[in-house]
Amino acid sequence: MEAERYEDLAELAESIADENFTDGKTDLELILRKKGINLVTGHYESYFTGTLYHKAKEFTVFLNMDDLEENKIPRIRFTIAHELGHYFIDEHRNLLRSGTSISFNASHNCELNEREANHFASFLLMPTKKFLAVAFSIEQGLPAILQLATQFESSIESTSIHYLKLDCCNGLLIRWKEDNSVQFHLCSATFGHQIGSGRKPVIQLAPAYINLLKAQLDNPDNEYHVVENATNLSHWLPHIGAGSSLDRPALEQTIRLGNYGGITLITIHS
């Protein structure tokens, strides 16, 4: 995504959030009502999680409750915000009005459409000024991400990505799957600058070590959601030699995401 496009979508989402922000979060139902967008929940097997449909000059957001659990409010909110992205992004809305699918059509970049809607959703749910005001009022780290996710009713995963992209800490985020493989990773701008990499440095994930973290998290005597360990950057970044000037001590914090793996955040002092 071009930087200018990225900024434009964020500004659009934040302007809508500012007009519909009540009780500490973006009121998605209010936005739907204002725009006359219907919201329908149903059971659609595995065909989609959410979708925006246009017919007879009306827009409808369908939520698939076979894929969304009733008690997972953050995931439901992100799905609605994603579909609102398709509505408010002119190019997406115009495609739908013309009867063209924005998700299943070889004539345009469907993957880009989905990335743009995800980007829009993040800033709709977590507008920058409000997010940073909270983030910088509390101690940095994974507990801060959990607090932000609770306050903005956003998923832990989307909140952690937003946290790193807005440079709220000097850190590296690794989202690992239950099979100990990496789903995605990124670092804050400050972290990338200090270790001489971009936003996605090459990382190394030791399956045996992830299993150790799982054991710590799953220990019935563990009363906390987050497991903390001391580490060094060379443990996670192969381009940093052990004992080198870049091999700084760091704080490692890990949380489980149910049966879907977990998130590890490695932070260093600026």
List pLDDT tens digits, range 240-254: 999 999 999 999 999
pLDDT tens per residue, range 172-207 = 999 999 999 999 999 999 999 999 888 889 999 999
Looking at residue 110, its pLDDT comes to 82
CATH architecture of 168-267: 2-Layer Sandwich (3.30)
Residue range(s) of every CATH 3.30.450 domain in the chain? 168-267
Give one word for 223, left, alpha or beta, with left for phi > 0 and alpha for psi -120 to 50: alpha
> Which band of pLDDT confidence, cut at 50, 70 and 90, is reported for residue 165?
very high
**Which residue shows structure tokens 């900024």?**
7
Spatial CA neighbour of 47 closest among 71, 65, 74, 69 = 65
Identify whether the C-beta of residue 263 lies closer than 8 Å to the C-beta of residue 175: yes
| Mean pLDDT taken over the chain | 92
pLDDT for 183 equals 96
What pLDDT sits at residue 39? 96
Q: Is the CB of residue 121 less than 8 Å from the CB of residue 85?
A: yes
Confidence of residue 10 (pLDDT cuts 50, 70, 90): very high
Over the stretch 75-121, which tens digit does the pLDDT of each residue have? 999 999 999 999 999 999 999 999 887 876 666 678 889 999 999 99
- Per-residue pLDDT averaged across 59-75, rounded? 86
pLDDT the model gives residue 107: 64
Cite the DSSP H helix spans in 126-206.
128-135, 142-152, 156-165, 189-195
Q: What is the pLDDT of residue 244?
A: 94
Phi then psi dihedrals of residue 162, to 5 deg: -60, -40
Strands (E), 27-127: 38-42, 50-55, 58-64
**What's the rounded Cα separation, in Å, for the pair 204 and 98?**
46
Place of tokens 């600058």: 193
CA distances from 246 to 51, 195, 228, 243, 269 (A): 46, 7, 21, 8, 13
pLDDT for residue 224 is more than 70: no
Please state the rounded mean pLDDT for residues 7-32. 97
Does 3-125 carry CATH code 1.10.10.2910? yes
> Where in the chain is CATH 1.10.10.2910?
3-125
